[in-house]
Amino acid sequence: MRVPTLTEVVDWPPVQLVVVEGTALVQPHAHAEDAVEVCIDEAAELARAEPDVEPPNEPTPSLADVPMSDAPLHEPPPTPQIDEAALARRIFTDLQHQIDSMLDQQLRVAMQPLLNRLADTFALQAREELASALRDMVALAVSREMIRLRAAAPPSDSAGP
């Protein structure tokens, strides 16, 4: 026996539906063996009964009865002409955009810690240079002010008589 695939349509023989009227309900206190025997007997009687369906008057055509023609039923559509150069340019452009964005992202991820350290180092060096320059300017301003104050001060008589 051949096993059909999942995508294959399988025709099974038609199943006749049988409607049973007037079936007796089994009471919960009834003996289970008697109920099973009654159901088996009814099923056997229904299986022996002939169906009321009439066979069709017209014979069903088979594949051997269908005339074969030389031309296929559906001709495949003509394949469009492909411009390989234009296709290669389009694919190259798409790939280039993807590679550019991926490279940009990777560079951002790789460069972020380096740039953060560089900014921290730059800020520290600028702060140190600014403090040094400010100390030099204050020292120069203090020395000029001292010179001006000494020049403006009256001579003292400490040379004595």
H/E element holding 3? none
Cβ neighbors of 24 (< 8 A, separation 6 or more) are 38
Q: Which residue has the tokens 């190259």?
A: 92
DSSP structural state of residue 19: -
The whole-model pTM stands at 0.34
pLDDT tens column, 55-111: 556 666 666 555 566 555 677 777 778 888 899 999 999 999 999 999 999 999 999
DSSP structural state of residue 160: -
Q: Is 117 exposed, middle or buried (0-12, 13-18, 19+ CB in 10 A)?
A: exposed
Coil, helix or strand at residue 8: coil
Q: If pLDDT is split at 50, 70 and 90, which confidence band does 6 have?
A: low
